[in-house]
């Protein structure tokens, strides 16, 4: 009997242990992002507790305190035990100027200001894990690097972690309006509660700063580039200053988008002409006022003479005249101007993809030294795929920063799963062919042209949604942007692995399938929305869903038909010498390849060439058959992600699993919508039929044309 009871008890204990081992983690809502610090497996947790029983901070600055607090929070969570601060810690946070650290003669100098070193050392006779660097900020970055290491399966045993950022300005651009609406935002209202600022400091502001510091972001532009002058008034400067106070310990500077006509709107001047001394004086006084409130203010971001925004061209002055005038006001404070090159005009019949280059290339070398020109990754507008912008490599005397869109304006908003790491990596790895082997990354990090002022900007996808970004997988895009801004050569897959391990669990059973889903997800969106180099075929205004048929908008380049140029003979935008000759804006060696459809990468075929529907692809299929194949591949990939996610259900906490599962169902339905609507339209143009066995569109073209998406988020009214 006793033996039976013992056997039953053993079975129960084993059963409980098995359930515990396989049961999903406790409910989570995504708020903690990748900084979850959930307990490691028991043995690892015990090992961590033994090696990192207490934390020692040498120095008492806000940044060191923030770093030590984070390490304590992280180690307590991971080791599942409280961790104290003590005078003799197993983990020591100390800048390299600390005498005991200096005595170790560690290789700190090559790390620069922000680079960190985390290393097992003997410090004053004790074996410790030292987190150090030249500045407190470097110690903060090292602290997050250590926590990342531990969250992704690393231990403290003989540890050496070191890294230096390759890019100086690692900035989020918030397209947040002062009324709380986020332009192209799909994660709720703006995080900034302008109404309760400057008094109330929502704890989320601190968590926002922690998250950004953890991935190396060191700047935030608080307001939309479609700027209101109000953001430069005294009350809003005070609000921005309150945010700057919260962000400062985390090494994050605040920037503002400046409305170029503010001297008229706020200053009562008759002009905003950048060469008018009264205008320059107004900006100087305004800039001085900002610096009195925010001594480490980063500077201005400016969208000028673009989509209705005012700018120097209104006064027949150049973009350099405008930028340099602001730069002069900022220079005494060491502030900078990020001047956007996203310009195109409805009055200009030139190919839209050529206009920014035409405008900016002649200005190379004329910008002040504290101006950096901000160039979108592609020449149109954050499409699911664009070839790299021809300005990269074409303005060697001017620092250029790259602008990516993290928010998914053109990639299915918050609901579609599209990991953007491959998009960032693909652009950064593109060879400009201006100089042998030169990549866009080397322009961005300054290696190619020797600029000290370097930068990468990402249009934020953050809002007041509980999970910050509208979905768990959108958090990966914020994460990837920061990590790749720190080091553009990191690669999309390693970054996805880090993120998946930290966001879900560090086991290969979770990380492998999650990363596999992520890595093909952006290509899938390209396939079901804009295969083979198509672009800008989305619906008007809100940009959600397919509308390749739209031809009646006021500005020619707002119409999808302008971009795809489909007719009975073929499809695609001819940017060769027989068309707009946009290819001539690239280096001759690249232009030479792009001149011929046979040597153009097929993924960009219809971006550069107008080809017959019967054009023979490398697969041997006709273009038409290949397009159908791509659309089907895109839809199929989403169906596959949905199935893969189903199998992950036992390993993922219920709330985050269910939201993603629902979104994948939405995505699969909408991928079909994109495919079917596009095919229905192309068939109406080319008169072709579908190959045998191809699934016909679910509805006729009239049905797709009649679909309306009401009240889509993020759309400026």
- Rounded to whole angstroms, how far apart are CA atoms 264 and 142? 46
Taking the C-alpha atoms of 113, 67, 207 and 472 in order, what is their torsion angle to the nearest 10 degrees?
80
Q: Are strands 336-340 and 371-376 parallel, antiparallel or unpaired?
A: parallel
What is the size of the binding site for ligand GCV (CB under 6 A)?
Answer: 10
Least distance (Å) from ligand GCV to the CB of residue 381?
A: 5
Buried b / exposed e across 104-142, counting CB within 10 Å, b at 16+?
eebebeebeebbbbbbebebeeeebbbbbbbbbbbbbbb
Q: Are 37 and 74 in contact (CB under 8 A)?
A: yes
Least distance (Å) from ligand GCV to the CB of residue 360?
A: 15
Output the six-digit token pair for 56: 């020692």
Least distance (Å) from ligand GCV to the CB of residue 179?
A: 15
Closer to ligand GCV by CB, 225 or 272: give it: 225
Q: Tell me if 539 contacts ligand GCV by CB under 6 A.
A: no
Cis geometry, peptide bond prior to residue 170 (ω within 30 degrees of 0): no
Q: Tell me if 33 contacts ligand GCV by CB under 6 A.
A: no
- Number of residue whose CB is nearest ligand GCV: 226
Footprint (CB under 6 A) of ligand GCV, residues 285-304: 303
Footprint (CB under 6 A) of ligand GCV, residues 339-368: 342
Residue 439: DSSP 8-state? B
Output the six-digit token pair for 151: 């969250």
Residue 668: DSSP 8-state? H
Catalytic residue among 381, 442, 467, 670, which?
381
Footprint (CB under 6 A) of ligand GCV, residues 364-393: 381
Taking the C-alpha atoms of 619, 623, 626 and 628 in order, what is their torsion angle to the nearest 10 degrees?
-170
Catalytic residue among 44, 47, 230, 307, which?
307
Least distance (Å) from ligand GCV to the CB of residue 267?
A: 24
Contact track, ligand GCV, 499-538, x by CB under 6 A: ----------------------------------------
| Residue from 130, 222, 225, 524 in contact with ligand GCV (CB under 6 A) | 225
Q: Tell me if 175 contacts ligand GCV by CB under 6 A.
A: yes
Helix-helix angle 62-79:42-51, to 10 degrees: 140
Q: Are 364 and 395 in contact (CB under 8 A)?
A: yes
Residue 156: DSSP 8-state? S
Cα end-to-end span (Å), the chain: 77
Strand, coil or helix: what is 229?
Answer: helix
Q: Tell me if 490 contacts ligand GCV by CB under 6 A.
A: no
Closer to ligand GCV by CB, 136 or 381: give it: 381
Least distance (Å) from ligand GCV to the CB of residue 226?
A: 5
| Residue from 36, 134, 174, 184 in contact with ligand GCV (CB under 6 A) | 184
Clarify whether 381 is annotated catalytic. yes
Least distance (Å) from ligand GCV to the CB of residue 517?
A: 28
Clarify whether 467 is annotated catalytic. no
Least distance (Å) from ligand GCV to the CB of residue 382?
A: 7
Q: Tell me if 176 contacts ligand GCV by CB under 6 A.
A: no
- Rounded to whole angstroms, how far apart are CA atoms 96 and 239? 35
Q: Tell me if 183 contacts ligand GCV by CB under 6 A.
A: yes
Q: Tell me if 226 contacts ligand GCV by CB under 6 A.
A: yes
Clarify whether 409 is annotated catalytic. yes
Cβ atoms within 10 A of the Cβ of 490, count? Answer: 20
Residues that bind ligand GCV (CB under 6 A): 175, 183-184, 225-226, 303, 307, 342, 381, 409
Catalytic residues: 307, 381, 409
């Amino acid at each position: 009997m006793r033996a039976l009871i013992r056997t039953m008890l053993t079975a129960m204990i084993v059963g409980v242990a098995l359930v515990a081992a396989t049961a999903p983690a406790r409910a989570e809502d995504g708020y903690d992002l990748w900084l979850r610090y959930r307990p490691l497996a028991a043995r690892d947790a015990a090992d961590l507790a033994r090696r990192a029983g207490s934390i020692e901070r040498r120095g008492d600055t806000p940044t060191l305190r923030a770093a030590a607090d984070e390490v304590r929070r992280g180690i307590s969570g991971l080791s599942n035990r409280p961790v104290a601060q003590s005078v003799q810690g197993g983990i020591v946070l100390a800048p390299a100027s600390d005498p005991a650290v200096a005595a170790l003669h560690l290789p700190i100098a090559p790390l620069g200001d922000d680079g960190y070193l985390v290393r097992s050392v003997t410090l004053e006779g004790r074996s410790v894990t030292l987190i150090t660097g030249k500045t407190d900020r470097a110690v903060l970055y090292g602290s997050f690097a250590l926590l990342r290491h531990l969250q992704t399966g690393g231990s403290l045993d003989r540890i050496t972690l070191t890294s230096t950022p390759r890019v100086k300005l690692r900035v989020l651009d918030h397209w947040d309006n002062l009324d709380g609406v986020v332009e192209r935002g799909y994660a709720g209202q703006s995080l900034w509660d302008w109404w309760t600022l400057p008094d109330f400091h929502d704890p989320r502001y601190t968590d926002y700063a922690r998250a950004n510091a953890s991935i190396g972001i060191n700047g935030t532009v608080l307001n939309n580039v479609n700027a209101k002058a109000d953001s430069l008034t005294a009350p809003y400067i005070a609000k921005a200053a309150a945010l700057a106070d919260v962000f400062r310990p985390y090494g994050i500077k605040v920037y503002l988008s400046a409305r170029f006509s503010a001297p008229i709107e706020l200053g009562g001047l008759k002009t905003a002409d950048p060469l008018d001394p009264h205008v320059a004086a107004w900006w100087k006084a305004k800039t001085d006022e900002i610096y009195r409130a925010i001594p480490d203010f980063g500077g201005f971001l400016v969208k000028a003479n673009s989509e209705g925004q005012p700018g120097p061209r209104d006064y027949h002055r150049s973009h350099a005249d405008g930028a340099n005038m602001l730069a002069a006001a900022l220079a005494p404070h060491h502030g900078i101007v990020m001047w956007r090159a996203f310009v195109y005009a409805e009055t200009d019949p030139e190919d839209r993809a050529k206009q920014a280059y035409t405008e900016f290339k002649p200005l190379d070398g004329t910008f002040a030294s504290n101006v950096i020109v901000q160039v979108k990754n592609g020449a149109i507008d954050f499409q699911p795929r664009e070839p790299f912008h021809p300005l990269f490599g074409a303005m060697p005397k001017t620092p250029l920063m790259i602008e990516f869109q993290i928010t998914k304006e053109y990639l299915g908003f918050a609901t579609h799963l599209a990991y953007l790491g491959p998009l960032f990596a693909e652009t950064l790895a593109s060879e400009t062919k201006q100089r042998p082997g030169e990549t866009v990354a080397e322009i961005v990090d300054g290696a190619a042209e020797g600029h000290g002022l370097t930068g990468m900007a990402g249009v934020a996808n953050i809002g007041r949604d509980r999970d910050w970004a509208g979905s768990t997988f959108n958090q990966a895009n914020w994460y990837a942007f920061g990590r790749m801004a720190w080091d553009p050569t990191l690669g999309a897959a390693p970054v996805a692995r880090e993120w998946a391990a930290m966001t879900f669990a560090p086991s290969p059973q979770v990380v492998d399938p999650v990363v596999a889903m992520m890595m093909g997800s952006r290509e899938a969106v390209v396939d079901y929305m804009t295969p083979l180099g198509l672009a800008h075929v989305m619906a008007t205004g809100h940009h959600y869903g397919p509308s390749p048929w739209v031809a009646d908008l006021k500005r020619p380049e707002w119409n999808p038909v302008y971009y795809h140029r489909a007719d009975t003979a073929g499809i695609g935008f001819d940017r060769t010498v027989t068309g707009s000759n946009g290819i001539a804006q690239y280096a001759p060696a690249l232009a030479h390849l792009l001149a011929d459809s046979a040597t153009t990468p097929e993924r960009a075929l219809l971006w550069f060439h107008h080809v017959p529907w019967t054009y023979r692809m490398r697969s041997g299929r006709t273009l038409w058959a290949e397009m159908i194949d791509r659309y089907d591949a895109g839809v199929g990939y989403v169906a596959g992600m949905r199935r893969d996610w189903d199998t992950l259900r036992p390993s993922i906490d219920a709330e985050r699993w269910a939201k993603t599962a629902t979104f994948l169902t939405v995505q699969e339905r909408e991928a079909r919508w994109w495919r079917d609507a596009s095919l229905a339209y192309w068939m109406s143009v080319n008169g072709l039929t579908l190959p045998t066995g191809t699934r016909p569109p679910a509805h006729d073209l009239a049905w797709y044309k009649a679909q309306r998406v009401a009240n889509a988020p993020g759309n400026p009214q």
